[in-house]
Each structure stands twice: as C-alpha cells, then as structure tokens.
Amino acid sequence: MHSFELDKKDVQKVKAALAEGQDAIETLLRDYHPSEIAILFEGLEKEEREVIINLLDSAQASEVLSEMAEETHPEELLLNLDPEKRTGIVEELDYDDATDLISQLDKEEQNEILDELNEEDASHIRSLLNYPEDTAGGLMNTRVIKIPAVLYKKDAIDEIIRQSEDMEEFYTVYVVDQKDIFQGIVSLKDIIKSRPEARIADLVVKDAVFVHHDTDQEEVARLISQYNLSSIPVVDQHMKLLGRVTFDDVIDVLEEENTEDILKISGVSEDEELSGNWKEAVKSRLPWLVINLGTAFLASSVVRYFEPTIARIAVLSAYMTIIAGMGGNAATQALAVTVRRISLYDLTDNQAYRTVLKEFTVGLINGAVTGLIVFLFALFFDMNTMLGVVIFLAMTGNLIIAGVTGAGIPLVLKRVGIDPAIASSIIITTFTDVFGFLFLLGLASQLLL
Amino acid sequence: MHSFELDKKDVQKVKAALAEGQDAIETLLRDYHPSEIAILFEGLEKEEREVIINLLDSAQASEVLSEMAEETHPEELLLNLDPEKRTGIVEELDYDDATDLISQLDKEEQNEILDELNEEDASHIRSLLNYPEDTAGGLMNTRVIKIPAVLYKKDAIDEIIRQSEDMEEFYTVYVVDQKDIFQGIVSLKDIIKSRPEARIADLVVKDAVFVHHDTDQEEVARLISQYNLSSIPVVDQHMKLLGRVTFDDVIDVLEEENTEDILKISGVSEDEELSGNWKEAVKSRLPWLVINLGTAFLASSVVRYFEPTIARIAVLSAYMTIIAGMGGNAATQALAVTVRRISLYDLTDNQAYRTVLKEFTVGLINGAVTGLIVFLFALFFDMNTMLGVVIFLAMTGNLIIAGVTGAGIPLVLKRVGIDPAIASSIIITTFTDVFGFLFLLGLASQLLL
C-alpha cells in the first residue's frame, strides 16, 4: 500500500466525472478515502470542491474538511455551504477539529455557524475557541472516555461502550471522581482481565502523565514522544479533566515546529505561511534582509579600509569572494548540525564545550585542505607563492571562525534562554565575512605590499 | 507536568547517592521513570551507568536501554553486563527494540548475546536483523495481537487477554486466517459491543491500511500520519502478517527525516551523526566544501574578467560583497520555504509555476527596497549617482535571480525525481554569486568607465 499522492490522472478523472454529472462523480468518489479526497482537492478549483462536498454525506464531508491542507482553506468551503448541510457537518466533526476550522473565520462568521448548532456542541466549541492555538487547550479534544472510580467492572464496561458510541477510536479510559477531578488512567484490557467484582478504583494507574490546558504545544509533543503515549489527558488548575490530546495532533505539531526551525535558520520569519502570497513573503523576509544589509555594510567597511591594497593587487577581489563564500557555507554546516542537536537533546556544559572544540578541529582541517587547493591554484595560475600563502592562511583562519561561531553562538543563545535557531545563517555569515576579509586583506597588506 | 530535561541538580543528586552506596541510589531511583533515567544517563560516566543498570530489575533496565539516546551507546552498556543479567534484560525488551540495540554491535558480539537467549526470542530477533533499518521490516515489532477470523466473541476476548499478557499496550487487534494471512482489523471495543454469538469474521474491517516489509520508512510515516493510525500492520509478499509499526516509532522517523532535511539544505551529508566526532564531520562536510570551492572559482572567474574595472574603481569590491551576500541570503530564504513546502505537500504544475512567479515578485520588491538603501548610501557616502544606479540595478537583478533559482531549482529537481533538499544553499549561492558579480561589474564597465 502506498500513501496517496496528488496525481494529475486522479484529478483529471475527477474533473471528467464532474463534467459527466452527479452519478459519475458519486460512483468515482466511492473509490477514495476522505483523506484522499482532501488531497485531491489541492488540484481542484473552489467551485469543484463545493460540488463534491455537497455530494458527500455529513460524516465523509466532515472527515474531508478536517484533513484538508490549511492552504486550501477548508473553513471557507464550510462557510459557503448551505446552513443545514453545514450544521450536519459540524456536528459530525470532533470538537477540536471543528474549533480549528471555525477559529480561522472572523467573529461574525463564527457566530453565524455556531448559532445554528445545538446548544451542547456550540458551548463546547465556544469554550475551546478561548484557548490559544499553541497550547494543550488549543490542541485538545473534549470528547474523552471518562468513568467514575467508584464503578464496578460490569457498569464500567457498559459505560465505556455507551460513551464510545460516537467516537471513532479511543486508546485510554480516564478515571475521575464525582466532581470530574482526574484520578488516573485505566486500560480497557485491564478492566476486561479483572475479576467480576473488581472496582475501577482498584485498577486505576495513578501516576499517569497529564498536562494543564495552558501547557505549550511543544511541551505536549515532547511528553507524548518521551513517554510513548497515544494520548495525554488535559486538566485545569483544579485538576478537573478537560479533554485529551492525541498522538496524531502531536505529529502535526512536530511537522510545524520543524518547519519553523528550518525557516528561522534560513532567515525567514517563523510565521510565514509556506503557501502565502508575495505580500506575506515580503513582510516576513524583508526585515531579515535589512538586518543582513546592516551586517553586510560592516563587512564591506573592512574591504573599504583596505581599498588601497585592492587597487594595487586587484586579483585579491577574486580571492575575497572565495574566502567569504567558503566561510559562509562552512558556518552554515556547523550551525545546522548544532541547532538540530540542541533541539533534539539537552547538552551539558561539558558537551557544549566539546562541541565547540570539535568544530574548531573540523574548521582547521577543512580550512587547511581547501586552503591548500587554492594555494596551488595561486601558485600555478597566478605564479605567486606569497599570494598563495596569504590565501592558505586566510582560508584556514576563516573556516576555524566559521566552525567556532556556527556551533558556539547557538549554544550560548540556548544557555541564556534565547531560541538558538535565531542564530540564522544571516548572523553567522557576518562573522565569516568580516574575519575572512580581515585575514585575507590584512595579511596581504603585510606580506604582499 | 513538565517533560523531563537533563538537569545538573538531578545529575549531582545521583552522583552523591552513588558515592553514598547501594541503598541511597536504590531509594533515589524510585523517583524516576525509566525514560527519565535514560536522560539522566547523558550526564553520567560509563561506569556510573553500569552501576545503575545493575541495580534496576530487568523490566526497568530494558526500558531504560530502549529509551537511551544513540549517542550514549546503550548497546555497549548491554554488552558489558554479565551474561545472566543481560539475557534477562533482552527477554524483557520488545523484539524491535532488542533488534535495534543488537544491530549496533558487530557479528561476533551479536552472536554472543543471541546464543544465550531462548530459541524463540533468538529466532525472532535474528529474522528482524535481516530487514534493512529504514524499512517497515526494520521498524516493526513482531509482537502483535492476532486472532483467527473464525473465533466467536467469547473465545476471541479470551485469546486477546492471553496474548496481551506480556504487552504493555496495544491499540488494534489484527485478524488472520488459518495460515496467518492478514484479513483486516477489529477494535476491542467493537468485539465487546457485539452480540454474544457474533463471530470475528462478521466484525472485521477489511479495507485496513497495511504495508509490506520492504516499504520505505518515510512511506510508513506518511501513511500513519495521513490516516491518523496508532499502528499499521506489516505483511510479506503473500500477505502473511509479520508485525506492526506503532506511532511512536513513526515520531522518531519524522524527527530523523527532519534532521536530514535541515542538514542537506545546509550542505551536510545526511549521514553525519549529530554527536559524531571531528573525523566523521570532516568526512561528511569536506566533499561539499570542495564542490563549493569549484563553484566559487566559477564566481571568482567573473571577478577576474573584470579585474581592470576593479583596479580603476576599487570601491566596487566593497559593494561586490554586499550584492553577493544579500543574494545568497535571499536565495536561502526562498530555498527553505520551497523545500519545506515540497516535503509537506505535493504541488501541481500550476502551483509550481505560481510559486516561481511569487518568488520573482518577492525578489523584485525586496531587491528594489534594499537596492534603494544602498543607492542612497552610494549617493551620500561615495557622492556618485551613477555608481548608485549600477548598485540598485545589480541588487534588484540579483535578488530576482535568488528568488527564481531558490524556488525553481528544488521544484525542477522534484519533477525529475531527485531529492529537492540536495539543492543546498551551496548550489543556489553559486547562481547569486555569478549573477551578482556579472550584474554589478558588467554594468559598472558599461556605465562608469
């Protein structure tokens, strides 16, 4: 079995069926899982999506909407449906998914949808809308299986079956007291295995991992990953059980966090939507480029200082680009390895120290090897041994700076509590530019003039 | 509840207890979850880890070993235990975790451990050692709950309870025929809810998602994430059920793949271990730096071509560094956004075309804005309007090149079936260096001499 990928052939089949009429498209859609239809939607026009959503039953339509990529704007599709259809779909959605969709709309549109719902669903969703998106409360689903600790085996099983009626899947049963205060967890397996006269209170695992509603989503993801949990209970400040976050939400969070890391290290604001338009992209990237321009002026002031040297030995400007470019790339290498390492593991002071030392050694060796190549080039092409020596030394020195700053700066940032990924390549390459020019032009002024 | 992080205070407490003696350390360890002990190990010496592992019972020790970070080398810790203790621990491990550990050892050491095990465990692990690490077979656990489709409700539940005796958790029950051929899945909930005379064959969900043992791990991760599965069955070519891959293994795969993406885009070999020593780092990065050196010679040959111009207007070399540096960073921005977008979504031809168009626009605007700043600098600092115009045009042109190549090259690579992350910043910055110098020095030769 292969994961479903957007394929032109599938899209064309759907478009052909749409042209043919309702029967054709209904027959065709039977071959696709809702999460596959959600992917197909990426290849279809807005109007085509509307036709298809209207042909699906509420259960299928709700699954499609909850699986659609953000960039295909499922919330707009939902908003444009006629009210009755829409209410049916929202009632089928899990509360967390419904909240995610509705939160993308403005207040007025939110109320338009919520006012049509039954009171219970509406109040569940309204309360979820209050939690910030990136907290456990914003991620959680309020539909859980929860049973009172006082129940006996038989009643507990009946209660679990009753509660699981409208749930697709559940992994763990949560145990509460009379006031809904979280007591612990119990597995369905342990209930079934127990003696007939067993009470839930005897079976409950009390030191279960849980989070508060305001716990940051990264923390929730780390806990689920660290303790291999399929779901984690969410409680309020009085330990009242509010809901649960499941592993599939956490997989989404991890993808999101990884996107942020890769963007920040490349000097892109973490908020830039990957599929955003050019206006958003300019807003997200221009500030970084202006910062970069400031640091570039700094590096170019070094070059200006040595202008007389360059005027006399113009070929230095050709080597300048090589030394600076190599330094920038070596720094990016050290930066990527270090930032990723920090985000996966915690490093002790000793490990941090050894990391910088390692990058010093790597810079020394890579600098010497590539410096030697450029030395030989200067020797045979420019017929100038001393020029070669200057370049060799500048390259080696700059690659050492690259390694030490590429690893050292994110480690220092982490130590003082700043996100290390902010040490983007833009910041790091300033060091390698400035030092690269200083080494090359400074040595040239001393040794070649 | 907070996720457990390595804390000097915890490490010191453990070291103090170790110095005090066996009772003190045993008392202290009771406060920690095995996955927390695994993290504590990162702050301890090899000998201290050995003392602690020997004090834990087999169940706890096996959990600690399976949660230890690769860089702390759990397999060596296992190897150094006395044979009896070691056998007890391996027997407690899930087969997939045992295989992961043992696969890190050389053949002789593997046999030393496997020969001590009971025949069943040894043969399970030996067969798992044959699957490549990055396939479903390499990820799977052979311990599953599987029941024949012919069973009636009562016998099925008894069988599930029997099989789940030595399993910590299970999420789905797999259904097979008499020859172990995979038939589908059934949830424990549905079995319990069914009438007493129900047969499993009536309850089984037949179109369950499954994978073959040789399916790539990225594909397994995508399926689990796409269909929100807590586990996925693994079958051989005859549809015989071999095992299952669970969501927690997939979370690890996602972290791994994301590390590879961030490394490749930064010009680091995907195989470099984050905590590897300097020799591994040199081996992984030097080849990329040599490639970069080749492309840097290309860029510097443009500069050489214009050497007479630079000799006459030496200040151009100061602006060269600005234009090239800005181009490189703008290209890295466009590259990061595009590579990440490709790895999360599939883009149609139309979307790919619009992405390049968007980056053209972003480059035009960011280039014009930053170009204007540098123009003003040239005007007021160097008092040279025409120089300012040349720089403005070169900056704008180069940031357009940056956007178009940063987005276009990974999209083209993806289209022809090459991993788009290979379009690392090293490749992309060659374009911005070459075109930046061409624009700046070419225009200067025409307009300023």
Question: What is the rounded CA–CA span in Å between residue B406 and residue B317?
Answer: 25
Q: Which one, of B194, B415, B60, lies nearest residue A8 by Cα?
A: B415
d(CA A273, CA B344): 12
Pair type for strands B241-246 and B231-235: antiparallel
Q: Based on the domain organization, do A116 and A190 belong to the same domain? A: no
**Residue A256 falls inside a structural domain:** no
Q: Give A62-65 contacts, CB < 8 A, sequence gap 24+.
A: A62/A89, A62/A90, A62/A92, A62/A93, A62/A97, A63/A34, A63/A35, A63/A38, A64/A34, A64/A35, A64/A37, A64/A38, A65/A38, A65/A89, A65/A93, A65/A97, A65/A101
Length of chain B in terms of residues written: 449
Tokens of B84: 């009896």
Query: Are A429 and B286 within 8 A, CB to CB?
Result: no
- Which residues contact residue B16 at a Cβ distance below 8 angstroms, ignoring those fewer than 6 apart? B24
Q: Which of residues 254-313 of B touch A (CB under 8 A)?
A: 254-255, 258-259, 261-263, 265-268, 272, 274-275, 277-278, 281-282, 285-286, 288-290, 292-293, 296-297, 299-301, 303-304, 307-308, 310-311
Rounded-to-integer distance, Cα B3 and Cα A250, Å: 14
Is A20 within a domain?
Answer: yes
Q: Which residues of chain A lie closer than 8 angstroms to B259, CB-CB?
A: 340, 344
State ipTM. Answer: 0.76
Which CATH number covers residue B209?
Answer: 3.10.580.10
- Whether B314 sits inside 8 A of A328 (CB atoms) is no
What does each C-alpha distance from B245 to A288, A434, B95, B235, B250 come to in angstroms? 42, 51, 12, 11, 8
Window 101-130 of A: residues touching B by CB (8 A cutoff) are none
3-state secondary structure of A47: helix
pLDDT for A127: 86
For tokens 């972290």, name the residue.
Answer: B255
Which among B332, B358, B370 has the least Cβ separation from residue A281? B358
Considering only CB atoms, which chain B residues are within 8 Å of A373? 290, 293
Examine residue B140 and state whether it is found in any structural domain, yes or no.
no
- Which residues of B, range 133-172, sit inside 8 Å of A by Cβ? 157, 160-161, 164, 169-171
Mutate to test the interface with A, among B139, B189, B315 (most CBs of A within 10 A): B189
Residue spans of beta strands (DSSP E) within A149-280? 173-176, 182-186, 211-212, 231-235, 241-246
Please identify among residues 359-388 of chain A the ones whose CB lies closer than 8 Å to any CB of chain B: 359, 361-362, 365-366, 369-370, 373-374, 377
Residues of A in contact with B342 (CB under 8 A): none
Nearest CA in chain A to B36: A226
- Does residue A32 sit at the B interface (CB-CB below 8 Å)? no
Instruction: Answer whether residue A28 is part of any domain.
Output: yes
List the end-to-end C-alpha distance of chain B, in Å, as a whole number. 70
The chain B residue lying nearest A297, using CA atoms, is B322
Which DSSP category does B244 fall into? E
What's the rounded Cα separation, in Å, for the pair A160 and A173? 8
- How far off is chain A from B435, nearest CA to CA, in Å? 13
Residues A150 and A113 in one domain: no
Low-confidence residues in chain A, pLDDT < 50: none
- Read off the CATH number of the domain in which B45 is found: 1.25.60.10
Total domains present in chain B: 3
B232 and B327 part of one domain:
no
Among chain B residues, CA nearest to A226: B35
Predicted local distance difference test score (pLDDT) of residue B351? 85
How confident is the model over B382-423, as pLDDT tens digits? 999 999 999 999 999 999 999 999 999 999 998 888 888 776
Which among A211, A228, A261 is the top mutation candidate for probing chain B, defined by the most B β-carbons within 10 Å of its own β-carbon? A228
Residue B264, amino acid: K
Interchain CB distance below 8 Å, B219 and A2: yes
Contact B254 A250 (CB under 8 A): no
A24-34 burial code (b ≥16 CB/10 A, e <16): ebeebbeebbb
For residue A396, give the CATH number of its domain.
Answer: 1.10.357.20
- Domain co-membership, A341 together with A395: yes
Please tell me whether residues A294 and A170 are part of one structural domain: no
Structure tokens at A394: 């500048």
Q: With an 8 Å Cβ cutoff, are A314 and B308 in contact?
A: yes
* Cα end-to-end span (Å), chain A: 70
Q: Are B425 and B328 in contact (CB under 8 A)?
A: yes
Look up residue A403 and give its two tokens: 């390694």
B30–chain A nearest CA distance, Å: 13
Q: How many CB atoms are closer than 10 A to CB A70?
A: 13
Task: Please tell me what DSSP assigns to residue A1.
Answer: -
Helices A46-55 and A58-67 sit at what angle, rounded to 10 degrees?
A: 140
> Do both B194 and B117 map to the same domain?
no
Flag if A228 and B248 touch (Cβ within 8 Å): yes
In this structure, is residue B137 part of a structural domain?
Answer: no
Q: Which of A77, A99, A130 is the last residue of a domain?
A: A130
Chain A, residues 80-99, CB within 8 A of chain B, namely none
State whether A296 and B325 contact (CB < 8 Å).
yes
Instruction: Tell me which H or E stretch contains A284.
Output: helix A278-305
Interchain CB distance below 8 Å, A344 and B255: yes
pLDDT score for B152: 94
Mark whether B320 and B397 lie in a shared domain.
Answer: yes
- Distinct helix (H) and strand (E) counts, chain B: 22, 6
**Min Cα separation A94/chain B (Å):** 14
- The pLDDT tens digits for B249-277 are 888 888 888 888 888 888 888 878 887 88
Task: Decide if B163 contacts B241 (C-beta within 8 A).
Answer: no
Select the more confidently predicted residue: B218 or A393.
Answer: A393
Contact B226 A4 (CB under 8 A): yes
Residue B34 CA to residue B37 CA, distance in Å, equals: 5
**Dihedral sign of CA atoms A218, A224, A230, A232 in order:** negative
pLDDT for B324: 93
3-state secondary structure of A143: coil
H or E element at residue B234: strand B231-235
Q: Are A99 and A129 in contact (CB under 8 A)?
A: yes
Whether A353 has its CB under 8 Å from any CB of chain B: the answer is: no
Same domain, yes or no: B325 and B293: yes
Q: Are A332 and B335 in contact (CB under 8 A)?
A: no
Give the pLDDT band (50/70/90) at residue B2: low
Quote the domain boundaries for residue A223: 146-246
Domain limit, last residue, from A98, A130, A162: A130
Domain boundary among A198, A231, A246: A246
Residues 6+ apart with CB under 8 A from B158: none
Closest CA to B133 of B214, B251, B69, B212: B214
- Cβ atoms of B329 and A425 closer than 8 Å: yes
Pairing between β-strand B231-235 and β-strand B146-148 as defined by DSSP bridges: unpaired
CB–CB contact A333 B285 (8 Å): yes
Q: Are residues B118 and B231 in the same domain?
A: no
Residue A435 lies in a domain: yes
The answer to whether the CB atoms of B209 and A1 lie below 8 A apart is yes
Window B:199-218, CB contacts with A under 8 Å? 209-212, 215
- Residue A225 and residue B248: Cβ atoms within 8 Å? yes
**Tokens of residue A13, six digits:** 């089949």
Task: Retrieve residue A200's tokens.
Answer: 């839930």
Alpha-carbon gap, residue A62 to A53, rounded angstroms: 9
Q: How open is the CA angle B137-B140-B141, to the nearest 5 degrees?
A: 135
What tokens were used for B226?
A: 């796409």
Evaluate whether residue A119 is within a structural domain.
Answer: yes
A215: three-class secondary structure by DSSP: coil
B370 vs A contacts (CB less than 8 Å): 286, 289-290, 293
Contact B336 A8 (CB under 8 A): no
* Domain shared by B86 and B175, yes or no: no
**CA of A295: how far to CAs of A263, A405, B22, B326, in Å?**
20, 15, 57, 10
Asked if residue B82 belongs to a domain, the reply is: yes
> CB–CB of B204/B183 below 8 Å?
yes
* Ranges assigned E (strand) in B114-210: 146-148, 173-176, 182-186
Going across the sheet that includes B241-246, the strands are: B211-212, B231-235, B241-246
Query: What's the CA angle centered on A196, arms A192 and A198, to 5 degrees?
Result: 85
Which residue of B135, B222, B322, B380 is the best one to mutate when testing the A interface, meaning the one whose CB has the most A CBs within 10 A?
B322
pLDDT in tens, B165-213: 767 667 789 999 999 999 999 988 888 888 989 999 999 988 889 999 9
Specify the residue for token string 């994430």.
B225
CA distances (Å), origin A360, targets A396, A439, B47, B280: 11, 17, 29, 14
Compute the distance between CA of residue B448 and CA of residue A405 in angstroms, rounded to an integer: 39
B287 with B414, same domain: the answer is yes
**Same domain (yes/no): A327, A421:** yes
Instruction: Show the CA angle centred on residue B210, arms to residues B209 and B216, nearest 5°.
Output: 120
Tell me: the pLDDT tens digits for B313-360? Answer: 999 999 999 999 999 999 999 999 998 888 777 788 888 999 999 999
